[in-house]
Structure formats: structure tokens, C-alpha cells
Amino acid sequence: MKKNLFEIGAKLDSMQSDKKGKLLTTDCINKSSLSSHQEPLVFKREKRNGKVVTIVGRFVCDDDEKKKVLKLLKTKLGCGGTIDSEWLELQGELQEKVKVVLSDNGWKFRK
């Protein structure tokens, strides 16, 4: 008897789902299993309305962790800031100061 060349149907045994029943892709599973401090952070510098904005990011962590990091930076550096999806936006040119504060807390940066 010949073996079928094509398989019909989905392989659901290898799929994983979160608490709400949504299927997670392998990318989401791999990112969630990593420690939040293993992803290297990148700096961007933009000018908005003549003012400098320092953008630090891609934080691959939950919203509570991002809020804690933003609160830490705002209190240590005395500046304003906000969260924009995976990026933290800080008012002013603060790249070196941010690097010192976050590296003391275990974050790594891209060279």
C-alpha cells in the first residue's frame, strides 16, 4: 500500500495556548520564556518641536515591568517620560545617564 504524499488536518498537539484560549505562535512562546533582561536595549534620538527626546527600547516584558522601569528612570533622572508600546520615551538628551541607571539594574545594551 502506498503512503499518502499529503497530510490533511492540523497538528494541534504541538500548539500551546494562553489562559484565554488564544493560540500562541512559537515566537511568542520563545519571547515569554526569555528573561526580560536578556534582550539588548537600543537608543534612538529624535527632535520633536525643537526638543530632544531619548527613546529606549524594545522592552520585551509585561506592562507592569515597563511602568516600574519608567518610574525608576523618571525619579532618578528628574525628567518626564511615557510608554509607547515597547519603547520608553524620555524628555531630554539622557542616553548616557539612562545607560548607567539601567545597567546597574541588570539591563544590557546593544553596542
For residues 78 and 59, what is the distance between their CA atoms, to the nearest angstrom?
21
Four-residue CA torsion sign, 108, 50, 77, 79: negative
Domains of the chain: 35-104 (3.30.780.10)
> For the segment 66-98, what is each residue's pLDDT rounded down to a tens digit?
999 999 999 999 999 999 988 999 999 999 999
Whole-angstrom CA distances from 103 to 3, 20, 40, 66, 87 are 57, 35, 11, 15, 17
For residue 16, pLDDT over 60 is answered with no
For residue 8, pLDDT over 90 is answered with no
> For the segment 33-72, what is each residue's pLDDT rounded down to a tens digit?
344 567 788 999 999 999 999 999 888 888 898 999 999 9
For residue 29, pLDDT over 50 is answered with no
Amino acid, single-letter form, for residue 20: K
Least confident of 2-6, 12-16, 102-106: 12-16
**Is the pTM value of this prediction over 0.85?**
no
Strands (E), 12-105: 16-17, 23-24, 42-48, 51-57, 81-84, 87-91
Whose CA is closest to 33, among 61, 72, 69? 61
